[in-house]
Amino acid sequence: MGQLAFLKMFIIVAISLDVNDNRRHVHVFRKGTRHMRSLAKIWIESNGEKCVEIAESELSTKENNMLTDAINRHWDYINEQITKTFNGEKTVAIDLEK
């Protein structure tokens, strides 16, 4: 699992086992929780083109909007880090609030 970014109380990650999924996406977890269960899955592309949208989520509309807005702003970086995760390379997580 490659940590890609932090945003407030959330960690945005890519999971290397997702390499064969039909659309690139990230998973969102809450920082500091003992049970690592994805709270949201966010598509970042469709047919190879940038397309950020919620696939599934247990979060509020406000939290979903905050996450999708941040992913849109940092899309190139996040997409590059997903590629690194899939290639088994080390990722560098950034703080999306800065």
Q: Which has more confidence, 95 or 2?
A: 95
What single letter denotes the amino acid at residue 74?
A: H
The count of other CB atoms within 10 Å of the CB of residue 59 is 16
- Model confidence at 75: pLDDT above 70: yes
Report pLDDT digits (tens) over 14-61: 887 776 678 999 999 988 776 677 899 999 999 989 999 999 999 999
Q: Which element (helix H / strand E) includes 33?
A: none
Q: What totals of helices (H) and strands (E) does the chain contain, helices first?
A: 2, 6
Q: pTM for this structure?
A: 0.88
- Model confidence at 62: pLDDT above 90: yes
Average pLDDT, the chain: 89
